[in-house]
Structure 1
Amino acid sequence: MGGIMAPKDIMTNTHAKSILNSMNSLRKSNTLCDVTLRVEQKDFPAHRIVLAACSDYFCAMFTSELSEKGKPYVDIQGLTASTMEILLDFVYTETVHVTVENVQELLPAACLLQLKGVKQACCEFLESQLDPSNCLGIRDFAETHNCVDLMQAAEVFSQKHFPEVVQHEEFILLSQGEVEKLIKCDEIQVDSEEPVFEAVINWVKHAKKEREESLPNLLQYVRMPLLTPRYITDVIDAEVSSIDGKYCSTYMFISFDL
C-alpha cells in the first residue's frame, strides 16, 4: 500500500444494537444481574447500569443515598407485573408493544419510571386512536399525565368534530364547566349554531333534575344571531319550555337581548 493514509474514525452503526441484544440475553438468563425488581410478587432480574442509563427514576434510586441503593431486591409500587415486563423489554430492546388494552396502564407507569420513549409511544398511539367517541376522555387522560402535545391534538379533534362528539356519552358526562369551555370555544367547527343548542339541551335532559338550573348559564353561550327565526320559534321555545317553564323566560330575555 503506497502513500500515507490519514487516521479515520469509522462508525459501524451496529455496536449499540449488538450491546443491547447481548444485555437482553444476559437479563433473560439472569446472568450478571445485580438487582431484582419485585412487582406484584413477581421478580424481574435486571442490571442497575442499564436501568439507570434509561430512566432518571432508576438513576436517582441507584446513585443517591436512597435506601434502595444497595439492596438486591427493590419493590416497585404503582404498576402491574405485566406492565413491568413490557417496560423492561423496552429498556433492553428499544421496542414497546402498545395496544388499546394496555395503553391506559402503560402510560402512567412510563411516567412513574420516567421512560420518555414509552410515554412518547403511548401518546402517538392514542393520537392515532382519536375518535368522536373518545377524544374528550383522551384529552383529560393526557392532561392528567402532562402529555401536552396529545392534549392539544385531542382538543383540536374535539373542536373539528364537535357535532359528532356531542352525540357520545363522554360529552353527556361532562361537568357544567367543561361543557361551557367546549361550547363557547370559537374554534368549534359547525355548519350552524343548531348543534350547539341541541348539545346543551341533551346534556341538561340527561340529568334534568340536577342540571336544569345550569340551563340559563349554558344558553348564553349559544350564538343566537346565527340561528334562523324559524328555528328559534319552532324548536328552541318548545325545547326550553319542556325542560322547565321558569327557565324559558330567562332564555327568551337572553335571546332577544342578543
Structure 2
Amino acid sequence: MDQDSPDGLLFKDHDFSSDLLRQLNVLRQNRILTDVSICAGAWEAPCHRNVLACSSPYFRAMFCNNFRESREAKVQLKGIDSTTLDRMVLYVYTGEVHITAENVLPLMEAASMLQYPKLFEACSSYLQGQLTPSNCLGMIRLSEILSCETLKKKAREVALTYFPEVAASADLKELCALELRDYLGDDGLCGEEEKVFEALMVWIKHDLQARKRYMQELFKQVRLQYIHPAFFHHFIANDALLQSSPSCQTILEIAKRQMFSLYSTTSAPDLQPPWHVPPRNSYQDFLMLLGGRKDNQQTTRDVLLYNPQTDQWQSLAKLPTRLYKASAVTLHRSTVYVLGGMAVGVGKSVLSRKVYIFSLKFNHWRLGQPMLAARYSHRSTAHKNFIFSIGGVGEGQEVMSSMERYDSISNIWESMASMPVGVLHPAVAVKDQRLYLFGGEDIMQNPVRLIQVYHISRNTWFKMETRMIKNVCAPAVLLGERIVIVGGYTRRILAYDPQSNKFVKCADMRDRRMHHGATVMGNKLYVTGGRRLTTDCNIEDSASFDCYDPQTDTWTSQGQLPHKLFDHACLTLQCIPYTSPFP
C-alpha cells in the first residue's frame, strides 16, 4: 500500500521481491549470468553465487570467505543425491518444495546440512503429521540423529500418551536398555503400572541372554506401590525370571511386606522401591458421591463423579439397590466397596450384609463377599488391602460394638476385637497402624466424649477421654500428618495430631453441619452436602460444596452439588482418565 509522507509518496510494490525471484529462476534455467555449478557426482546445477549466498549461511560462508570453493566454477556437495539437490536448488529460487514420504528424510538431511531452517522445520511438521504409536519410538531416534527438537518433543508426547499401543509395537523391543529405562521411568507415561511391568518383561524376553543383566535397574522403573496387590500377588511376586535375580528377589520381598503385612517394615534403603514416589502425572484425582438421601429425602441409587480439572459432574452406573445408611470405602485407589446398610424396597426394608464392588475403570457394579454381620449406620475405613467395618445398628436394633475385617487378597471376612464402647456415627480415620474413632453418640443420642484407638497389628483397643470431642454424624479425614474432624452439629474443625495427642482448632465452616461428606484431594479438604442448622435452629438439607486449604486455613466455595444430598458417601478415587484411540 502507498503511504503519504511530508516529502512525497512512499511507493511499495509488494510483488516486486517475488517477481525478482521468479526472474532469477528464469535466468538460472536459461544459464544466463550463472557463475557456479553445484554438483552431486556427475549431475550439475548452474546457479548464481550471490543468490546461494543470500539464501543460506552455509553458502554465504563458502562464497564470501577465502575458501577454495569461492573461486571454483564447480562445487561438489557430498552426502546429497542429485534428485534432492535439484529440489533444494528449486527451493532456493522459488521458495517452494513438495514434501512426500519418499523425499522427506533426504530433504531434511540436506536442509540441515545446507542450513535452511524453515525447510528443516517444514519437514519436521510433515513427519509430526505422520506420527503413530507404532512409529513414534523410531521417530524419537530419528529426531536425535537429526537434532530436531520439535519432532522429538511431539514423538515423545505420542509415545507417552499412547503407551498401551506403543508397548505392543515392534519398535519397543528394539530399544536399548538406556532408552527403555528413560521411557518407562518418565513421570508423564500414561499407563497403568501393570502394563509397564508387562512391557518390561516382553522387552527382556525378546533377547533374554543379552538383556537379563539389565533386569534389576529396569525393574526399579515399575512403581510397585501403584500396582494392584492381586496382580502383584498372582503375576509378579513369584515370577521365575525375577526370582532368578537376587537383587530383584530382595525388592520383591520388601514389596510383599509393604503391601501385605499389617506390621511396620524396615529394609535396606538402597534396594527399597521408591514407596513415596508420587504416581505418574497421568493419574488424576476424582471425587465420588454415592447413595444417601437427596432433594425429597428419598434414598437414592445415584453415583456422581466430579472432575476437578474440568469442574464437571458425571453420572455413573447406579447402585444395584437403594441402601439406607450403608458405608463405603475406596480400596486400591479406584475400586469402591459399599458395605451393608438397610436395603430399601417397596413396602419393606431389609438389613443387609451384602457388599457391592464398583470398578471405576469399567463403570460396573458386582457383588462381593458378604460381611459376617448385617449392619447399618456403621463406619468403615481401609488400610492397605484391608477394610474394617465397625459398629452400627444390628438386626435387633442394638448398638453394635463388634468389628470385622475384610482381606481383599484372600477375599475373607473375619471378626476382630470389639471396640470398648459401642457408639453410633463416630468420626473414623487410620494413621500409622492405628484406627481412630472420635466421639459419636450412644443409643440415647448423647454425645460420647471418647477417642477409641485400635492397634491394627496387635488387634487391641484402648480408649481416652477428652473434653475436646463432641462430634456426631461427622466425617474424619487424614490431611497431611493430622486427622481432621469435620463438623458434626457444629461449625468447628478440629485437627488431631496422634504423635502429640493434641488438637488444633482450624477455621470454622460457614454453617453448623452434620450428615455431610468429606474427602481429601491434592492436600485440600472437600466437604459435600449434608444438613445444616439455621440461625433459627431449623434443619435444612444442603447442596453446598466447599474446600478447605490447610496452608492458608481458609474456606472457599466450589459451587453447588447437582442436588441437595446428605447421609451419602464421599470418596476420592485416583485413575488414568480415558484416552481416546489414536486418530
TM-score where L is the length of structure 1: 0.91
What is the deviation of 1:85? 0.8
CA distance in 1, matches of 2:250, 2:45: 64
Match for residue 63 of structure 2?
62
What is the deviation of 1:103? 1.5
Verify: 1:16 aligned to 2:14, yes or no.
no
- The 3 A distance-change label for structure 1 pair 6 and 65 is closer
Match for residue 124 of structure 1?
125
Match for residue 218 of structure 2?
218
Match for residue 189 of structure 1?
190
2:97 maps to amino acid: V
Q: Which structure 2 residue ranges, 5 or more long, are not aligned?
A: 257-271, 274-583
Indicate the structure (1 or 2) with the bigger Cα radius of gyration.
2
Answer whether contact 1:212 1:244 (CA < 8 A) is retained: no
Match for residue 98 of structure 1?
99
Match for residue 145 of structure 1?
146
CA distance in 2, matches of 1:106, 1:254: 54
* CA RMSD of superposed structures (Å): 1.9
CA distance in 1, matches of 2:215, 2:43: 53
Sequence identity (%): 31
What is the deviation of 1:129? 1.2
Answer whether contact 1:52 1:59 (CA < 8 A) is retained: yes
CA distance in 1, matches of 2:254, 2:43: 63
Verify: 1:202 aligned to 2:191, yes or no.
no
What is the deviation of 1:199? 0.8
2:252 maps to amino acid: M
Verify: 1:76 aligned to 2:77, yes or no.
yes
Structure with the largest fraction of strand = 2
CA distance in 2, matches of 1:105, 1:181: 29
- The 3 A distance-change label for structure 1 pair 5 and 63 is closer
Answer whether contact 2:242 2:249 (CA < 8 A) is retained: no
SS of the residue 1:21 aligns to: helix
Q: Deviation per CA, 1:180-232, whole angstroms, max 9, x where unpaired?
A: 11111111112x21110011001001101111121121111111111112111
2:133 maps to amino acid: P
What is the deviation of 1:244? 6.2
Number of residues of Structure 1 aligned to a counterpart in Structure 2: 252
2:215 maps to amino acid: L
Structure with the largest fraction of helix = 1
Residues 37-48 of structure 1: pairs in structure 2 closer than 5 A: 37-48=38-49
SS of the residue 1:68 aligns to: helix
Answer whether contact 1:35 1:48 (CA < 8 A) is retained: yes
SS of the residue 1:37 aligns to: strand
What is the deviation of 1:250? 4.2
SS of the residue 2:75 aligns to: strand
Match for residue 524 of structure 2?
none
Answer whether contact 2:52 2:60 (CA < 8 A) is retained: yes
SS of the residue 2:37 aligns to: strand
Verify: 1:234 aligned to 2:228, yes or no.
no
- The 3 A distance-change label for structure 1 pair 175 and 250 is farther
Q: Which structure 1 residue ranges, 5 or more long, are not aligned?
A: none
